[in-house]
């Protein structure tokens, strides 16, 4: 006897087959960055965003910097919070070497009230941020970079007055425990640049909370 699937059942089975066929990213390095936003070797345009201290920050304001560690992060994402101490450590280690951290919050506070500017100020004070914590007002900057998650890192190097993208991805390969991270992607990238060497691994998967655009 021939079986006939109801339309709803057929749709469920089709969706399940589609999900099963999709690749599952486990945090292993990607061979290529996301199709949207910057790629390795692209020039990152400057921005002018408000810091938690009320002042505006731009890349061009860092006259003596050799490059930047630009990190898209936020207040309440558990992945972002897990990396905060590591982000502070990166800034303390590499700012004196010419690669300061610049953190940008891409979240829309209408969608994520916990990322309101006043709460960003509180988070920066409570954690003792040593770096600018900027608000991407109107969500204008993160799509240019192609940031997908918090945290998502873009290491830039100054070359003839241009900010060239040299690394895109995660901070390291263990968001749960810094001591168990066997690959420190950002440190490896910046160390290579400081030694005038090629970045050993240019792109990795950013693991974190998805950035939600308004509308």
Distance CA 137, CA 19 (A): 35
In a domain, 170, yes or no: yes
Q: How confident is the model at residue 177 (pLDDT cuts 50, 70, 90)?
A: very high
pLDDT tens per residue across span 98-108: 999 999 999 99
DSSP 4: -
Distance CA 77, CA 95 (A): 25
**Quick one: 7 exposed, middle or buried, by C-beta within 10 A (0-12, 13-18, 19+)?**
exposed
The CATH number of the domain holding residue 144 is 3.40.30.10
In a domain, 6, yes or no: no
In a domain, 8, yes or no: no
The domain of 197 spans: 26-210
How many domains are there within the chain? Answer: 1
Report the predicted TM-score, pTM, of the whole model to 2 decimal places. 0.83
Q: Is the dihedral of CA 74, 34, 144, 43 positive or negative?
A: positive
pLDDT tens per residue across span 128-161: 999 999 999 999 999 999 999 999 999 999 999 9
The neighbouring-strand residues paired with 111 are none
In a domain, 135, yes or no: yes
In a domain, 15, yes or no: no
In a domain, 141, yes or no: yes
Two tokens, residue 105: 């919050």
């Amino acid at each position: 006897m021939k079986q006939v699937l109801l339309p709803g059942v057929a749709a469920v089975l089709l969706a399940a087959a589609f999900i099963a066929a999709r690749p599952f990213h486990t945090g292993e390095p990607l061979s290529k960055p996301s199709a949207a936003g910057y790629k390795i070797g692209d020039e990152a345009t400057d921005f002018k965003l408000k810091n938690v201290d009320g002042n505006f920050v731009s890349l061009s304001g860092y006259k003596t910097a050799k490059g930047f560690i630009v990190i898209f992060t936020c207040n309440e994402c558990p992945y972002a919070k897990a990396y905060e101490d590591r982000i502070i450590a990166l800034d303390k280690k590499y700012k004196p070497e010419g690669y300061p951290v610049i953190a940008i919050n891409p979240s829309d506070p209408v969608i994520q009230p916990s990322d309101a500017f006043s709460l960003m100020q509180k988070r920066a004070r409570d954690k003792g941020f040593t770096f600018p914590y900027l608000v991407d007002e109107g969500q204008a900057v993160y799509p240019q970079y192609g940031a997908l998650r918090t945290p998502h890192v873009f290491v830039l190097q100054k070359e003839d007055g241009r900010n060239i993208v040299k690394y895109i991805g995660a901070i390291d390969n263990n968001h749960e425990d810094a001591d168990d991270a066997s690959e420190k992607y950002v440190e490896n990238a910046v160390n290579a640049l400081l030694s005038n060497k090629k970045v050993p691994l240019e792109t990795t998967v950013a693991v974190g909370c998805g950035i939600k655009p308004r509308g």
